[in-house]
Amino acid sequence: MVDLRNQYLKSKAAIDTAIQDCIDSTAFIKGPQVASFEKQLATNLNIPYVVSCANGTDALQLAMMALDLKPNDEVIVPAFTYVATAEVVALLGLKPVIIDVDPRTFTIDQHLVAEAITPKTRLVVPVHLFGQCADMEGILQLCNDQDIAVIEDAAQAIGATYTFRDGRVKTAGALGDLGTTSFFPSKNLGCFGDGGAVFTNSEQLAEKVKMIANHGQSRKYSHDTIGVNSRLDSIQAAILIEKLKQLTTYTYNRQRVADLYDEALKNCDAIEIPYRASHSTHVFHQYTLKVPADRRDDLKAYLSQKKIPSMIYYPMPLNNQKAYQGIGRVVGNLKVTQDLCQRVISLPMHTELSDAQVAYIAESVIDYFA
């Protein structure tokens, strides 16, 4: 699904030097690379404050902890997402309110958010799934009017941009009160282990997140709040500084692969290619097709025979997972999510795919349905 080795080889000299420098300095924790990376990422994405942490799941937890929510406060999350989004809600003793997504973009739907809001709703967590921003404008308006916070889960959408109706453009993660991302190796900007970050426009929230990530410590040995220990290692920051220089190229390569797939597959009647919303750019963390439910698993097996990997993101609605039985509240029948779980299939998508590889994959999909 990804080719991290060839991506590394292209920047090998710079990355190896950055790692060796870090080892030579022995500043493994809180080395200068960490603050430097935060600053460079903030500039690159045009987001005022970036606070790094240990992974994308922690980023969600830190962002939620910074909002001073109370037990059983309701948090609206989409049913079609990676488990981390709701996991953190449950872990913090908050109540996940699980709603359906839009059938075209697979992201949270503002009309369903409006339906799910109760007097206990304190937070909405839209997920910019597969690399495209959720339709945020209506959600931001709705939440602003009712004093409800918004945390964007931008783990899959680093660098995507959202365009408001009046033409203003903002980066994924900079639209809500807080945004979060992950530097898991296979994410669009990945390190060589775990990493994550919280984004915000608010200096006050940035300081709070920083404090919570550092044992709730305002000054050394002065603990103002119960925190956690969640840090980005200096070595990972050093690697990310080098990889950030390539982010534009990485994104371009993914978009190019998506264009090639689109062109090759658009006339195949059995397939729905990814929908591209006018409100967002798409950075194609995944290239996900909708195919007939009764053919999907067979297509996957057929591709596998031809040595083509594929993945089902996600096979089960969140609320059907064993751990989430009886947790929180489900709004509506989640018909779209149920349908997507039966029909989606993601093709290989990464920065190193050649034209010939894309052509072979697309032809194989077409051959299967011929």
Ligand X SMILES: *Cc1c(COP(=O)(O)O)cnc(C)c1O
Binding mask 127-146 for ligand X (x = CB under 6 A): x-------------------
Q: Which of 33, 57, 61, 234 binds ligand X (CB under 6 A)?
A: 57
Out of 39, 70, 187, 322, the active site residue is 187
From 35-43, 50-58, 245-253, 349-357, span contacting ligand X (CB under 6 A) = 50-58
Nearer to ligand X by Cβ, of 67 and 271: the residue is 67
Is residue 61 a contact point for ligand X (CB under 6 A)?
no
Is residue 340 a contact point for ligand X (CB under 6 A)?
no
Is residue 155 a contact point for ligand X (CB under 6 A)?
yes
Nearest residue to ligand X by CB is 56
Q: Provide the β-strand partners of residue 151.
A: 178
Respond yes or no: is residue 39 known to be catalytic: no
Nearer to ligand X by Cβ, of 38 and 153: the residue is 153
Copy the structure tokens of residue 281: 């750019």
Query: Quick one: how far is CA 350 from the chain centroid?
Result: 15
Q: Which of 107, 156, 236, 281 binds ligand X (CB under 6 A)?
A: 156
Q: Comparing C-alpha atoms, which of 345, 313, 359 is closest to residue 155?
A: 313
Minimum CB separation of residue 144 from ligand X in Å reads 24
Could you tell me whether strands 217-219 and 49-53 are parallel, antiparallel, or unpaired per DSSP bridges?
A: unpaired
Q: Comparing C-alpha atoms, which of 366, 338, 350 is closest to residue 271?
A: 366
Answer yes or no: are the C-beta atoms of 111 and 139 closer than 8 Å. Answer: no
Q: Could you identify the residue written with the tokens 């990376």? A: 37
From 42-50, 54-62, 136-144, 327-335, span contacting ligand X (CB under 6 A) = 54-62
Minimum CB separation of residue 181 from ligand X in Å reads 8
Q: Which H/E stretch holds residue 347?
A: strand 344-347
292 Cβ neighbours under 8 A, 6+ residues apart:
270, 343
Minimum CB separation of residue 203 from ligand X in Å reads 25
Copy the structure tokens of residue 255: 């978009």
Is residue 196 a contact point for ligand X (CB under 6 A)?
yes
The C-alpha atoms of residue 149 and residue 138 are separated, in whole angstroms, by 14
Rg (CA), the chain: 21
Q: How far apart, in Å, are the Cα atoms of 302 and each of 101, 253, 280, 319?
A: 29, 26, 33, 30
Binding mask 81-110 for ligand X (x = CB under 6 A): xx-xx-------------------------
Is residue 286 a contact point for ligand X (CB under 6 A)?
no
Residues that bind ligand X (CB under 6 A): 55-57, 81-82, 84-85, 127, 153, 155-156, 182, 184, 194, 196
Active site residues: 187
